[in-house]
Structure 1
Amino acid sequence: MALAKKNGKLMGKHPKLPEPARCSIRRRYAAGKVSLTDLATEYSAGRSTIHRIIHNPDA
């Protein structure tokens, strides 16, 4: 693992969705126009991922 990290192959966890998409998810859900399930389907993510984005914006 040390060798992989040294070579830049081990970078840690990356967010599933980029920040602009996460902002859009929060904004659209707050407006009440779309459900968690609809967002999960649209972004090809799990409902738990969408829920985490909405309820833990700093995570």
Structure 2
Amino acid sequence: MPINVVSATEEHSIRFQQYHLEDIGRVRVRKYCEVEDREVANAEIGTVHWAAAQTMVRRPCH
């Protein structure tokens, strides 16, 4: 039975970008801290949810 070997190094993923419909300008997502009024890195971002009795539960995203 013959076998065909092919390279698997090509990138086959599709990437989507958001753009402004009016002028085709690229739309980027910037994450700002409301308290410090500055952009924050992903490493500085966590999640929070409220448990029973007004208890806040915090954790990092990664």
TM range, normalised to the smaller chain? under 0.3
Larger radius of gyration: 2
TM normalised by structure 2 equals 0.20
Q: Could you say which structure has the higher helix fraction?
A: 1
Q: Could you say which structure has the higher strand fraction?
A: 2
TM normalised by structure 1 equals 0.21
Instruction: Say which structure, 1 or 2, has more relative contact order (CA 8 Å, 6+ apart).
Output: 1
